[in-house]
């Protein structure tokens, strides 16, 4: 069996509405994820990061001890990025998922 694992960062979809880009990790478009996925499948790659720079960042981050990762995320302000979204911009999404 063959498979490709797609590891996207923040993708501009309804799920991420109201979230702000982080200075280090910019969001990407769904079309970028689709194109990278098709290319990875055609090339027989097991893993694809979108955007591509996430590969090196993920590798380096994974080499650090857990406490260091936590400190670095806090220093960069990335530890609360998902919590700091614009609630008004997310209202439609939140309402839709709350009703399911």
Residues pairing with 7 in the sheet: 49
Per-residue pLDDT of the chain (100 residues; tens, 9 = 90+): 589 999 998 899 988 888 888 777 788 999 999 999 999 999 999 999 999 888 888 888 889 999 998 898 888 877 777 777 888 888 888 888 887 6
All structural domains of the chain with their residue ranges: 5-98
Distance, CA of 57 to CA of 100 (rounded, Å) = 36
Using DSSP, state whether 72 is helix, strand or coil. Answer: helix
């Amino acid at each position: 069996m063959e498979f490709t694992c797609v590891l996207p960062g923040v993708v501009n979809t309804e799920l991420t509405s109201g979230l702000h880009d982080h200075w280090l990790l910019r969001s990407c478009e769904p079309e970028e994820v689709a194109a990278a996925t098709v290319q990875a499948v055609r090339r027989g790659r097991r893993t694809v990061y979108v955007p591509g720079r996430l590969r090196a960042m993920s590798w380096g981050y994974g080499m650090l001890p857990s406490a260091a990762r936590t400190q670095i995320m806090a220093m960069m302000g990335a530890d609360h990025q998902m919590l700091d979204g614009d609630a008004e911009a997310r209202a439609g999404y939140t309402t839709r998922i709350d009703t399911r």
